[in-house]
Amino acid sequence: MGRALSRSWEHGDLTGGPVDQVFAAVRQAVSGVIVERLAVTRASDDDNVFFLGVGTVLDRVQLDTGPGGQPPFFVETDSCRVVTSDVAEAVAAVSAGLGSGDVGAGDDLRW
Segment 26-50, tens digit of pLDDT: 999 999 999 999 886 766 566 799 9
109 within some domain: no
- Average model confidence (pLDDT) across the chain: 85
Measured distance CA(38)–CA(46) in Å, rounded: 9
81 within some domain: yes
More confident residue, 100 or 38: 38
62 within some domain: yes
User: Tens of pLDDT along 40-76?
Assistant: 676 656 679 999 999 888 889 999 999 999 999 999 9
41 within some domain: yes
pLDDT of residue 90: 97
108 within some domain: no
pTM across the whole model: 0.81
Identify whether the C-beta of residue 72 lies closer than 8 Å to the C-beta of residue 63.
no
Query: Count of domains in the chain?
Result: 1
90 within some domain: yes
Query: Residue 6: CB partners within 8 Å, gap ≥ 6?
Result: 36, 37, 38, 39, 51
Phi, psi of 92 (to 5 degrees): -60, -40
Confidence grade of residue 7 (pLDDT, cut at 50, 70, 90):
confident
Phi, psi of 69 (to 5 degrees): 75, 20
111 within some domain: no
pLDDT of residue 110: 38
pLDDT of residue 16: 95
How far from 102 is each of 1, 24, 29, CA to CA, in Å?
Answer: 24, 16, 8
103 within some domain: no
Residue 64: domain span: 6-97
